[in-house]
Amino acid sequence: MADDAKKKEIFEKLRNGVIQYDEDACREGAQEALDAGLDANEAIFDGLVSGMEEVGRLFEAQEYFVPEILMCADALYAGLDILKPHCKQMDLGVKGSVVIGTVEGDVHDIGKNLVKMMFDVAGFNVYDLGRDVPLDKFVEEQLKTDSELVCLSAMMTTSMVGMPKVIEKIKEKNPDCMIMIGGAPTSKELADKWGADGYAEDASNALKEAIKMVAFLKKLRDEKLKK
Amino acid sequence: MNSRERVLKVFKGEQVDRVPCFSGMGNVTEAAINQLGYKFAGIHLDAKMMADTAASTYKMFGFECGVAPVDLCVEAEALGCVINVYPQAEGILYPTIKEKLIHNEGEMDSVKIPSDLASRGRVPLLMEAIRLMKSDIGSEVAVGSYVLGPFTLAGQIMELNDLLKLSFKKPDKVARLLDLMADAIIIVAKEYEKAGIDYITVREMGATSDVLSPRVFKNLIMPPLQKISRELKVSSVLHICGKTNDIVIPMAEAGYTAISVEQKNDVAETRKKLGPGAVIFGNYDPYNVLVSGPEELVRATMRKCIDDGVSAIWPGCDIWPTVPPENMKAMMDETIKYGGKN
């Protein structure tokens, strides 16, 4: 096993690799973590996700904008692709599968992809339907996969209005399924009115919401480890 | 003073009896489409249907303009993208780009403007729609059209994801593409001018400061926007979505007759920054206020826009077609009652 200093150094490399959108550093850091026999889950959360949390903060402070976030996401994936096959199944008491996509009439998927990334990180099974997805497809896919979460994204007002139909149909068949809506035109009021369980108005908020959720999972994991 | 005179005077910065209530973006209503016996998917492909629908918001509610097109894909289609109008859709779905023109970074340099751009795709159909609308309502209201801004158009002909990253990693390459986009936009805008529009809106929606830093906006987005404004003969409006307070000064310096901002902009502050002479259009939320809001919210929002100092009551985006007729009427009524107070 690597000593603590070595471990810290590797996690720091992963974290900074994400923050400085350095894909090579993330790849190297991930490989070093594996070579040193570190826990892959830990490397993901304390390295990559920790970096992404800082990116979220930089975005809020308007030091980073969307291009930077996209590059940070690429760096995170570069590390994640190496670490993920070595992850132990996280036993968190949730099954963790999610159906995600941009609704029909909308071809924007940046926010959706950022949220997807955080689900990937958290070890969810992600069923990504892509963009411009016919509304019934969400309902079908939810039923087929029995996912406990469905995320609907739309960037344009002109496509958002399809959302309530999907929510209604899913809730009718499976009232326990949680639904998160996201995109510039969405709001808490609309989420409430349409019966969605959560919302995020833009990519950064979506990222924040997803980080919050993943951080919560991490807390659960840490508590479990302590026991 | 009729609506047309009022709007033209506002563009010239002259005194008017009250602020006008109009738009430079899509404003067709389902109420009118049903009354005309049309289908939403059909109005994008037929000049007469498009013109009739575009004129109907004035005819039914007194909304002070006529605007075509209705969708955002005209320029990209003329450049060679394939669009989807969702012909089978039951409800309202706006056309989107199905097939992009640039598939990877390498193709950015090889993309060219077709020499017959002005006669490709639906550009001729748009000219016909503008002419029809002009002869129908053109003496009573101002007739307008819109084009996309260079960055937004580039985001349609290639992956927005790639465009955003490259605007950071390889700004020179993106700058060349945006310059080319500006040329294409100018060609289309000139056709609309020939067809007789009174004003044109350049919708640079993708370059909002929620997405790009003010620095990138200044270095990368401004030059092609200025290139376009230099070529326009009619009155022009620069529209940018999102939190625009940090970029209203460059927006005002981009050379357009007016700027248009949405609900996330603090217009009172913008007015203070730009001074009494600036022509500022905005800034109500066309969905959460105009479509979803109770009538009193619509009225209060119109009063706030006027109090904040807008030069015209104007939506933050396209008016969503399912807008309740009562809310359209309340918006017009409140503008007429309250719009002369300044």
Q: pLDDT category, A227, cuts 50, 70, 90?
A: low
| Percentage of chain A lying above the pLDDT 90 cut | 43
Give residue B284's Cα distance to chain centre.
14
Tell whether B96 is covered by a domain. yes
pLDDT at B216 over 80: yes
How close A188 comes to chain B (CA, Å)?
11
pLDDT at residue A117, rounded to an integer: 86
From chain B, the residues in CB contact with A66 under 8 A are 164, 210-212
pLDDT at residue A182, rounded to an integer: 85
pLDDT at residue A220, rounded to an integer: 65
pLDDT at B91 over 60: yes
Task: Assign B322 to helix, strand or coil.
Answer: coil
Lowest model confidence (mean pLDDT) among A83-97, B17-31, B324-338: A83-97
Q: CA nearest A132 in B: which residue?
A: B96
Tell whether B13 is covered by a domain. no
Tell whether B139 is covered by a domain. yes
Task: Please state the pTM of the whole predicted model.
Answer: 0.90
Task: Assign B262 to helix, strand or coil.
Answer: coil
Which whole-number Å values give the CA distances from A219 to A7, A14, A49, in the listed order? 20, 20, 13
From chain A, the residues in CB contact with B92 under 8 A are 158, 161
Tens digit of pLDDT for each residue in B153-189?
A: 999 999 999 999 999 999 999 999 999 999 999 999 9
- Within 10 angstroms of residue B258's Cβ, the number of other Cβ atoms is 24
The whole-chain average pLDDT of chain B stands at 95
Tell whether B11 is covered by a domain. no
pLDDT at A1 over 70: no
Tens digit of pLDDT for each residue in A179-208?
A: 888 887 777 888 888 888 878 776 666 666
Tens digit of pLDDT for each residue in B230-242?
A: 999 999 999 999 8
pLDDT at residue A221, rounded to an integer: 61
First to last CA, chain A: 22
Residue A87 in contact with partner chain B when CB distance is under 8 A: no
From chain A, the residues in CB contact with B93 under 8 A are 104-105, 158-159, 162
Q: What one-character-per-residue DSSP string does B15-40 give?
A: --SS--B--SS----HHHHHHHT--G
Helix (H) and strand (E) counts for chain B?
14, 9
Q: pLDDT category, B148, cuts 50, 70, 90?
A: very high
Task: List, as ranges, residues 86-105 from B with C-beta within 8 Å of A.
Answer: 86, 89, 91-94, 96-97
Domain count, chain B: 1
Say if residue A169 is exposed, middle or buried (CB neighbours under 10 Å; 0-12, 13-18, 19+).
Answer: middle
pLDDT at residue A217, rounded to an integer: 61
Q: Which of B93, B161, B292 sits opposite A110 (nearest CB)?
A: B161
Tell whether B5 is covered by a domain. no
Tens digit of pLDDT for each residue in A56-99?
A: 899 888 899 989 999 999 999 999 999 988 887 654 545 578 89
pLDDT at residue A95, rounded to an integer: 55
pLDDT at residue A34, rounded to an integer: 96
Q: How far apart are CA B182 and CA B118, in angstroms?
A: 14
Q: Are B146 and B25 in contact (CB under 8 A)?
A: yes
Look up the ipTM and state it.
0.86
Tell whether B263 is covered by a domain. yes
pLDDT at B98 over 80: yes
Three-class DSSP labels, chain A: CCCHHHHHHHHHHHHHHHHCCCHHHHHHHHHHHHHCCCCHHHHHHHHHHHHHHHHHHHHHCCCCCHHHHHHHHHHHHHHHHHHHHHCCCCCCCCCCEEEEEEECCCCCCHHHHHHHHHHHHCCCEEEECCCCECHHHHHHHHHHHCCCEEEEECCCHHHHCCHHHHHHHHHHHCCCCEEEEECCCCCHHHHHHHCCCEEECCHHHHHHHHHHHHHHHHHHHHHHHHC
Does the distance separating the beta carbons of B288 and A67 come in below 8 Å?
no
Q: CA nearest B168 in A: which residue?
A: A67
Tell whether B182 is covered by a domain. yes
Q: How far apart are CA B198 and CA B194, in angstroms?
A: 10
From chain A, the residues in CB contact with B210 under 8 A are 66, 184, 202
**Which residue type sits at A28?**
E
pLDDT at residue A89, rounded to an integer: 62
Domains of chain A, with CATH numbers? 4-88 (1.10.1240.10), 97-207 (3.40.50.280)
The whole-chain average pLDDT of chain A stands at 85
Q: Which of B96, B212, B286 sits opposite A65 (nearest CB)?
A: B212
pLDDT at B17 over 90: yes
pLDDT at residue A210, rounded to an integer: 66
pLDDT at residue B89, rounded to an integer: 80
Does the distance separating the beta carbons of B213 and A62 come in below 8 Å?
yes
pLDDT at residue A202, rounded to an integer: 67
Does the distance separating the beta carbons of B161 and A67 come in below 8 Å?
no
Q: How far apart are CA B51 and CA B55, in angstroms?
A: 6
- Within 10 angstroms of residue A164's Cβ, the number of other Cβ atoms is 17
Q: How far apart are CA B102 and CA A124, in angstroms?
A: 33
Sheet order of strands, B280-284 included:
B65-67, B142-148, B199-203, B235-240, B258-261, B280-284, B312-315
Q: What is the mean pLDDT of residues A8-24?
A: 97
pLDDT at residue A56, rounded to an integer: 87
| Percentage of chain B lying above the pLDDT 70 cut | 100
pLDDT at B137 over 70: yes
Q: What is the mean pLDDT of residues B36-54?
A: 96
pLDDT at residue A174, rounded to an integer: 85
Q: Is A56 left (phi over 0), alpha (psi -120 to 50) or beta?
A: alpha
Tens digit of pLDDT for each residue in A106-130?
A: 888 888 888 888 888 877 889 999 9
Residue B212 in contact with partner chain A when CB distance is under 8 A: yes
Does the distance separating the beta carbons of A105 and B96 come in below 8 Å?
yes
Q: How far apart are CA B2 and CA B22, in angstroms?
A: 13
CATH code at position B51: 3.20.20.210
How close A190 comes to chain B (CA, Å)?
8
Task: Assign B181 to helix, strand or coil.
Answer: helix
Residue A185 in contact with partner chain B when CB distance is under 8 A: yes
From chain A, the residues in CB contact with B41 under 8 A are none
Tell whether B317 is covered by a domain. yes
Q: Are B330 and B298 in contact (CB under 8 A)?
A: yes
Task: Assign B312 to helix, strand or coil.
Answer: strand
Whole domain around residue B240: which residue ranges? 18-338
pLDDT at residue B83, rounded to an integer: 95
